[in-house]
């Protein structure tokens, strides 16, 4: 499994207590792949200790088209069916 220093390209999206990383890495066969990481800041009850919870998704090029199609369909569904809240107006 590649480690953090093997990142070839990265983009970062900050959103409140979460940070999303889009990292391009190379596997042992020199094939590039995408790692999507959600990093969420967690504090204990006293707010004395801060840690991060991470979740990763690994996507290889052979799956990109299906993933993007499904993502676009899902986003379209949300946009068409989302009820705006007072906060989002």
Domain formed by 4-82, architecture: Roll (3.10)
What digits encode the pLDDT tens for the residues 39-48? Answer: 998 887 776 7
Which of the four pLDDT bands, split at 50, 70 and 90, describes residue 86? low
pTM to 2 decimal places: 0.75
Q: Which two tokens stand for residue 56?
A: 């990763």
Q: Positive or negative CA dihedral for 28, 23, 4, 42?
A: negative
Q: What is the pLDDT of residue 43?
A: 81
Domain coordinates in residue numbering, the chain? 4-82
| First vs last C-alpha separation in the chain | 44
């Amino acid at each position: 499994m590649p480690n953090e220093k093997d990142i070839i390209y990265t983009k970062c999206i900050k959103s409140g207590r979460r940070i999303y990383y889009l990292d391009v890495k190379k596997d042992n066969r020199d094939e590039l792949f995408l790692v999507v990481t959600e990093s969420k800041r967690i504090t204990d009850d006293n707010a004395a200790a801060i840690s991060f919870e991470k979740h990763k998704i690994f996507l290889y090029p052979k799956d990109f088209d299906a993933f993007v199609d499904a993502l676009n369909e899902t986003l379209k569904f949300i946009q068409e069916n989302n009820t705006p809240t007072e906060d989002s107006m």
